[in-house]
Homo-oligomer: A and B are copies of this chain.
Amino acid sequence: MKMIDVKAVLDEARGQGRMALFEHEAKDLISQVGLPTTRYHLTKDKDEAISAAHGIGYPVALKIVSPQVIHKSDAGGVALGIGGDEELSASYNKIIENVKERVPGVEIRGVLVEEMAAPSVEVIVGATRDPQFGPAIMFGVGGILTEIVKDVSFRVAPIGRDEAVKMMGEIKAHRVLEGARGIPPVDKAVLADIIVKTSSLMVENPSIAAIDLNPVIVYGDSAKIVDARVILGDEGDSDEAVEPADDLDAVLDPSSVAIIGASASPDKIGHKILRNILDAGFRGPIYPVNPRGGEILGLKAYPSVLDTPEDVDAVVVVVPSRFVPGVMEECVQKGVKGAVIISSGFKDVGPEGAQLEKTVLETAARGGVRIIGPNCQGVSNPVSGFCATWPLVAGVGPVAVISQSGSIALEAPSNLVDNHVGYSKSVALGNKSDVDEADLISWLGGDEGTRVIAVYTEGTDQGRKLMKAVRVASGKPVLILKGGRTEAGRKAVLAHTGSLAGSGEVFEAAVHQSGGVCVDSLMELLDAAKAFSMLPVPAGPRLIVVTSSGGAGILSSDASEKAGLALKPLSEDIVNRLRESLPEYCVLRNPLDLTGNAFTEPGMYRDALEVVLESGEADMVLVVFGDPISGTVELLGDAVRKARDKGVPVAVNYLGGAGVQKIEVDALQRSGVPVYSTPERAITALGYMNKYRLKRSSHGDE
């Protein structure tokens, strides 16, 4: 193998205006970094090809090399499985003839003679440059089926060997790698090496847009890359991660506030926001700003922020967009530190608005003013009473909400308060001109009142910054719902905010790599936030279900498998102890079925939970009340306290209790026990806790 200059090869191809390297160039390049390929030789004529074939050994493949021929098979430029000189000679003539006939004026650079690799397990290793996250690596089992079923795993590059091995475990077809009939198991270290080297190649060469190693044929402890494709792009960004900002006190927890566009008319947003800040009990000075002056909601109004008597920490802006640049000039003059811009009519309405937004941003930057919005539904901090949004949602709790959608920024707190969870902050990002998810996650990582961070986002153009923020904050669970994951959804994203929506796969991989958790729907986001805020993170995947409803038990089993939880059979030991404390009719399995008799003998729950928690066989517990059982808070009290001490989460599903159920669910949640309306919802939430545990522990290993 001759040594080549990687950059020179790439530059030469780009110089010739090519979008991709020739296959032999691609193989030269990957060989250079130690990737194993089939043997190959670029030949200029038939005699050279025959002698190359002798060197390589029959059978061989022939492939045309030409800048005009992208799809070699379609052009008749490929011959496979050639067994001898005579066949080679005929095939050689044939493919030259084919290509000349099908591609008029074709410039033939030669014919590539390649080793035919013996069949074995085929995998694909690929790399792409994601618009949000930069270089990303993919692994899958090869073949048209994988391509169609999309059974692949992604990581943002660079990655190490451990992470590469994990990728292999994530694909559905991972059993293929573990040895099927007649095929030895794959040495994962060999594959991991290929993945890691491909990752480095991408990271170190910004002019490579994509790499396909497809197929890579794996033989036990060795592998051969049969075909390699290297696509060129512009010299990309250097992918430096911007540091997330955490100087957001002024917009999230200001000491004083002016409402610019405050109104005396109750229908106006500028009235509602002022009233909500007052109703929420904001303790600092509040200055309504309105050109007409006068008095609004009992407060003196000022014609301009410049007229206010003292310092103003933050402003909330609701005036029409055309006035906002002027307002921002005054804010800078006044020394304001943060602005929540509710007004729409910026990037959301097209290029002219985008220009206006740029002007506002530039002015703000001059004065160090941080901006939430514009075109957003505001910020709500129920702790300090800075509830610059509408409607007002009261109820302090440990969950912070960050949302690109105003509706979700209000729905989430409202739902959490109804469930006796409450919230610490809710921020609607709108156009995200300045402060973004990463900045907020970073700030909330240090916020005392926040223990869980729930995010709705439609994507980011600073993926690495987001990863950094999630990584730093990940002592607190960061739960992310990504809107625009499917093709149809992606189109809507472009229409909505103009933000970049990359593929959902890379986004999810990036979040998981950083120790965050991606959820699948808005309900799951809220259900998971409730679990994380009320319960300790489990130490393992083992779930025990204690139920009075056999049906709910069966649905729990179905859901556990989906959620990746382990519903293990009870040990003989625990069964013996349960037999001592429970009546004979109980079904001593997992789920542990107390039967409908638990309605008249609810004390069985207490007895069963005591044994279950003492056994050490449950990393988490789901209690199902399947009958109108009263006094559940008292029934579970001791068990829940003991479980919390042991770090075992206990969730509840309540079914079939009609009126009693409503009272009990409320009381249980008030006492800090999360209740779900179906067994599947409870288990999905517990499943996310388990995923977080896995991400966090794998994270600790790195």
Contacts and interface: CB of A to CB of B under 8 A. Distances in A.
Given A176-B145, A181-B73, A407 B485 contact: no
Contact of A497 (B172, B550, B677): B550
A349 B596 CA distance: 13
Interface string A166-186: 000000110110001110000
Interface in A455-512: 456, 458, 481, 483-489, 491-493, 495-497
Interface string A582-599: 000101010101011100
A549 B149 contact: no
Contact of A557 (B269, B377, B409, B486): B486
A522 B679 contact: yes
A554 B484 contact: yes
B145 A391 contact: no
Contacts of A661: 414
A600 B267 contact: yes
B554 A677 contact: no
Contacts of A392: 658
Contacts of A411: 655-656
Given A523-B680, A562-B486, A655-B410, A492 B549 contact: no
Interface in A506-565: 521-523, 548-555, 557-562
Contact of A521 (B143, B559, B655, B660): B559
A456 B551 contact: yes
A259 to B, nearest CB: 17
B407 A548 contact: yes
13 contacts: A73-B182, A144-B173, A144-B180, A393-B658, A405-B626, A406-B549, A406-B627, A407-B627, A410-B656, A411-B656, A496-B593, A522-B678, A522-B679
A558 B172 contact: no
A303 interface: no
Nearest to A408: B551
Contacts of A403: 551
Contact of A492 (B349, B486, B591): B591
B554 A655 contact: no
A656 B149 contact: no
A491 B545 CA distance: 14
Given A71-B181, A489-B561, 6 more contacts: A391-B628, A407-B548, A407-B626, A408-B549, A489-B555, A521-B680
Nearest to A625: B407
A325 interface: no
Interface string A382-408: 000000001111000000000111111
B143 A414 contact: no
A626 B406 contact: yes
Given A561-B489, A656-B407, A555 B522 contact: yes
B548 A491 contact: no
A151 interface: yes
A377 B596 contact: yes
B406 A521 contact: no
B585 A344 contact: yes
A310 interface: no
Given A73-B182, A522-B678, A558-B488, A658 B391 contact: yes
A176 B151 contact: no
Interface centre among A151, A589, A658 (most CB of B within 10 A): A658
A148 interface: yes
Contacts of A523: 677-678, 680-681
B561 A488 contact: yes
A489 B554 contact: yes
Contacts of A483: 551, 554-555, 558
A74 interface: yes
A17 interface: no
A646 B285 CA distance: 57
Interface in A559-613: 559-562, 567, 585, 587, 589, 591, 593, 595-597, 600
Interface centre among A488, A551, A600 (most CB of B within 10 A): A551
Contact of A414 (B71, B593, B656): B656
A210 to B, nearest CB: 19
A659 interface: yes
A414 B414 CA distance: 24
A146 interface: yes
Contacts of A173: 144-145, 148-149
Interface in A647-698: 655-661, 677-681
Given A554-B496, A557-B491, A561-B488, A408 B656 contact: yes
A141 interface: yes
A415 B484 CA distance: 31
| A-B complex: 6 closest residue pairs judged by Cβ atoms | A405-B551, A407-B626, A410-B656, A407-B549, A407-B656, A483-B554
A549 B489 contact: no
A575 to B, nearest CB: 13
Contacts of A141: 145
Contacts of A349: 585
Contact of A561 (B486, B522, B551): B486
Interface centre among A344, A484, A555 (most CB of B within 10 A): A555
Interface string A411-425: 100110000000000
Contacts of A497: 550
